[in-house]
Each structure stands twice: as structure tokens, then as C-alpha cells.
Amino acid sequence: MPHYDWVWGSTPPLLKRHSEVKHALLRNYLIKYFLTLFSRLRREQIRMTVVDGFCGGGLYVNEDGREVPGSPLVILEAIEEAKYLVMTRQDRRKPIDIDVELICIDDCPSALEFLRNLLIQRNHGQALASQRIRLVHGQFADHSDAVIKRCEARSIRSGRALFVLDQYGYSAVPMHCLSDIFSRLAKAEVILTFYVDALIKFLDPKNLRQFTAATGIRSGMTAAEIDELKKSPWWRVALQANLYEDVTRASTAKFHTPFFIRPEQGFGDFWLLHLSQHWKARDVMAATHWEHHNHFAHYGGAGFNMFSTGYIGKLDDTGKLQTGFDFSDVAATVSQDTMLEQIPRLLSEVPDGISFEQFFMRLINTTPATRDMVETALLKLSAHQQLQVLGDDGVPSSARVHLKPEHVLRRPSQGAFSFSFKANGS
Ligand SMILES: C[S@@+](CC[C@H](N)C(=O)[O-])C[C@H]1O[C@@H](n2cnc3c(N)ncnc32)[C@H](O)[C@@H]1O
């Protein structure tokens, strides 16, 4: 993983392409986040805190030699862009107020000094003076409690906050920080970078102990079991699946997106985990990933239960993602086809039926698909009599375009319609 040096007066550090993609995702996610919140036309204000826990110096030079912003500027620019888009798209007259306090933490004094000078140069001096933007020196873990308190104080009712935790490696964000965030802030979200390849590459008993001590993540596996697992051709994928489960469980977040960034060469895969407490937040992030399909991927299959052995088994260890999943248009079709095959089987397990909401909630963390994509697959199956959609009165519904959360999904009782079909045909 790259390490950056910021010295005011010298050329900013080089930003690799995959990190630019990470910034594009952060920018687009934030814009979508605000557009989603302001889609309620009566809403005029949002008050929240954004914590950039590993903020860096705020400026880079990219591989083409152009100056590009780091995460603090990306966040500030995204807020301005979202304001503009809400006003113009919704033809609003009254200005909206996106009331964000940005807290930037870094343990490197020269990075923070660079960021301070940069913010002043880019007309954010007033925001620094009024503490709209706060620069905090030190380690994220040491400041997380105070920062959570600040978020609580600013949004007592909503607990709305976004934490961008872009660590270098995998051990600078202890899990108790994440569980604190989610237990104390009802509408908190976290975007966490995790260099899973770096951890796996050096995984041995000593490194496992250090990792557990630093993060509080207790891998369910002993060192001996890891050694045993490494004999399997799919050990890397199986280990990632295990670690992923450990991290998400320890974070205590209800919803998560297991997406990966694959740098073109060098540094190895890393996770960009989005953790949240609301399905809609997870859905907005999943939709953002589909828009950045060239650079994101995840191990596992296209439909549901992507981490279950069945799907992981399709991957080989050396080619890793050759048969994996990449959020492309092809992947969207494969995803649709896979769901068309899986859904009837899943519904057979609940003969009395299940509401659309429950069905989606049970599966949301196991699929790269968005809610709209799952809904489309269900409606397609319904049109082909592969499933029944019932209203809450138990009467078959004629829903063709949208499903209500309370619509009940059920396999037709005869089970006679077991032919399979693909998304592009019947
Ligand atoms: C990957 S860079 C962050 C880049 C930045 N988020 C961006 O996108 O432009 C990691 C940053 O975290 C800082 N850092 C490393 N360990 C830290 C810790 N434990 N707490 C806070 N900052 C840390 C480093 O000085 C470095 O600036």
C-alpha cells in the first residue's frame, strides 16, 4: 500500500489510478446521499457531521501529472455539487441548507499543515476559523470517542454522521470504535478501507495475534486451521469470506456492502466496506458501485449468498477474479439470470410466503444487486407464473411495475412450472 508525504511548498504525492477511483466513489456516493435525502421536497435542511478519520494532506498529483483533490476537498466539493443539483433538478426557489461540520484527523503533522494551508488557499479559511472544518492531530482510535460525542451533540435526534476511514493498512480502526459509532449514532455510516491482501499475505500465528490485539477482531479460526485452509486451492477466497464475516459482525452494523477494489498492478486487493444501519443507505452505495463497474469487484457470485461455498467454489486462487464479478453490464445480466434461478428455490423454503420487505432484508447483505434489481427479477418471475404476488388481504395482486414492501411472495402450489429461463428470453 502506498504511503504519502505532504510538505507544503513541494509537489504533492502521486495518486494512483485506483485511489482516484476511490475518490470518485466517495464523491458520487455523497452526492447521491444528499439527493436521496432531499428527494423529500419538504425537507430544507440536513444537519450532520462528516469525519475524515485519516484525512491526509488533501492534494495529489495523478498519473497524468494533474493536481487532484484528496478526501477532505472531495467531501467539500461533493456538498457544493449536491446543493447545486438539488436546487436545479427540483427547481427549488428557497435555498437548502446542508449543514455539515467536517472533522479531519491525521497523525502526521506535516499532512495536517499541508491541509490547513491548502484549505486557506481554496477559500475555506473562514470555515477553519469558525470550526466548521476542524483539523485534529493524532490517531483516529484515540479521538473516536470525542468525535462521536461531537456528532451526538450536533444531531441529538437523528444521529446523522458519516465516517470516512481510509487507513493505510488493516489495523488502525479497532472494532470497538465501529460498534461505538453504531450504538450511539442511529444514522451513522462508515466507509472503511481495509487492505485485506496485505493481511492475508503475511498471515501467520504472530501476525494473527497482532491483528486481533490491534483490532479486536477475533477470527473464528486458529493459526492451525488457517494453515490447513491454505492447502485448499481457494484458500485466499475462503479466508476473505471468513474475515469479512468477522469484520462485519464485530462492527455491529446491520447492513454492509462487500466490495473490493483491484488495483491494476502492485498493491493487491483492498476492501471498501460500506457499513450502515439502514437498507436505503446500503442500496445507494450498491447503486454507486454499479456506476463504477470498471474498478470494483467482489469475490463470489452474482446472485444471493455470494460468500457461500457454492459460489466461491467457482473461483480459482491464481486468477482470483477471472470468474468473479465486476459490476459491468454483463454482470448485471448474469446477476439477473442468477436471481431468476435462485429465487424460486429460496421461496420454496417458505411455503407460506414471505413479504417483499422481509425477503429483501434477509438477503440484502449477501448480494451485489440493488433493491430495484431484485424487484425486477421478482416481477419477471411473477409474469412467468414462477411466483405469486399476493396483497396483504391474501388476494393475488396484479403488480407489474412495482412491489410494495408488504406484498407477499409465494411459490405457486403446483410447483409444475419448473422450467428455467434467462433474462433475455422465456
Ligand atoms: C491512505 S492515506 C489517506 C488519504 C486520504 N483519505 C485521501 O483520500 O486523500 C492515510 C492517512 O492516514 C494517516 N494515518 C496513518 N495512521 C493513522 C492513524 N492511526 N490515525 C490517523 N491518521 C493516520 C497518514 O498520515 C495518512 O495521511
Round to whole Å and give the CA distance between 230 and 215: 23
Q: Which of 18, 54, 110 to mutate to test the pocket of ligand 1 (most atoms within 8 A of CB)?
A: 54
Indicate whether 39 and 184 sit together in one domain. yes
Specify if 425 maps to a domain: no
Round to whole Å and give the CA distance between 110 and 56: 9
140 within ligand 1 shell (Cβ under 6 A): yes
**In 134-195, which residue ranges form alpha helices assigned H by DSSP?**
140-154, 175-184
Is the model's pLDDT at 40 over the cut of 80? yes
Indicate whether 92 and 172 sit together in one domain. yes
Higher pLDDT, 30 or 257: 30
Indicate whether 404 and 266 sit together in one domain. no
Indicate whether 188 and 111 sit together in one domain. yes
Report the CATH number that the domain containing residue 345 is assigned in CATH.
Answer: 1.10.10
Indicate whether 361 and 300 sit together in one domain. no
54 within ligand 1 shell (Cβ under 6 A): yes
Q: Which of 62, 147, 167, 195 to mutate to test the pocket of ligand 1 (most atoms within 8 A of CB)?
A: 167
Indicate whether 354 and 317 sit together in one domain. no
**174 CA distance to ligand 1 middle (Å):** 15
Note the pLDDT of residue 363: 81
Report which DSSP code applies to 288: H
Note the pLDDT of residue 208: 80
Indicate whether 198 and 56 sit together in one domain. yes
Is the model's pLDDT at 313 over the cut of 50? no
Contact 306, 300 (CB under 8 A): yes
CA torsion sign, 148 to 180 to 253 to 324?
A: positive
**pLDDT tens-digit map of 378-402:** 999 999 888 999 997 888 888 888 9
Note the pLDDT of residue 343: 86
Specify if 4 maps to a domain: no
CB atoms within 10 A of CB 35: 16
- Tally the domains of the chain: 2
Domain that holds residue 230: 14-323
Cell numbers found for residue 252: 455491529
Indicate whether 244 and 121 sit together in one domain. yes
Q: What's the helix, strand, coil split of the chain in %, to 5?
A: 45, 15, 40
Specify if 422 maps to a domain: no
Round to whole Å and give the CA distance between 200 and 269: 10
Indicate whether 127 and 160 sit together in one domain. yes
139 within ligand 1 shell (Cβ under 6 A): yes
Report the CATH number that the domain containing residue 217 is assigned in CATH.
Answer: 3.40.50
Note the pLDDT of residue 263: 63
Specify if 418 maps to a domain: no
Kindly calculate the radius of gyration of the chain based on its CA atoms and give it in whole angstroms.
Answer: 23
**In 69-191, which residue ranges form alpha helices assigned H by DSSP?**
71-89, 109-121, 125-129, 140-154, 175-184
Indicate whether 268 and 204 sit together in one domain. yes
Indicate whether 227 and 345 sit together in one domain. no
Specify if 391 maps to a domain: yes
Unique residue bearing C-alpha cell 448480494: 367
Domain boundary among 298, 323, 348: 323
